[in-house]
Amino acid sequence: MEPKKVLIVERSRATREYLSGLVRTHGFHAYAVNRQDELLTHLNRENRDLLLFGPSIRMEQISAFEEVLEREKKALPILFIRNGKEALGQRRVPDKANTSSLPGNFHPDDLK
């Protein structure tokens, strides 16, 4: 059986590398991008099993996040790490979305 493929979107290089290492430690393939336009290009080319949005994703980027959700026919699971300053709960997420978020007080070291 082929390992699950996780696409990580995070601006901070250090956090992106940390999350990639964490995903690999759990036996999954990790692919990381740092910009929203790279995300859309990558999703159009490759099939992924999970999208992991790091804490640097800002509210103004949520519109592209919603676009990905609406376009994705198989309800790709999405994990969104909130940064504690902005809340995903204020935005409408499509009904068919398979989305979870970690709380604002989440710290990546908690996953070790």
111 is a domain residue: no
Flag whether 85 is in a domain. Answer: yes
Given a contact cutoff of 8 angstroms between Cβ atoms, the answer to whether 87 and 57 are in contact is: no
Q: What is the pLDDT of residues 22-74, one digit of tens each?
A: 899 989 999 998 877 787 778 777 888 888 888 887 656 655 666 666 666 55
Q: Which domain holds residue 44?
A: 5-89+99-104
Helix (H) or strand (E) holding 79: strand 78-81
- Give the per-residue SS3 of 25-67: HCCCEEEEECCHHHHHHHHHHCCCCEEEECCCCCHHHHHHHHH
Phi first, then psi: give them for residue 80, nearest 5 degrees: -120, 120
Indicate which CATH number applies to the domain containing 29. 3.40.50.2300
52 in a structural domain: yes
DSSP secondary structure code for residue 77 in this structure: -
Residue 24, in any domain of the structure = yes
Average pLDDT of the chain, as a whole number: 73
The answer to whether residue 28 sits within a structural domain is yes
Q: Would 112 be classed as within a structural domain? A: no
Query: Edge-to-edge strand order for the sheet containing 78-81?
Result: 29-33, 5-9, 50-53, 78-81, 99-102
Question: Is the pLDDT reported for residue 94 higher than 90?
Answer: no
DSSP state of 16: H
Domain membership of residue 94 (yes or no) is: no
Q: What is the pTM of this model?
A: 0.72
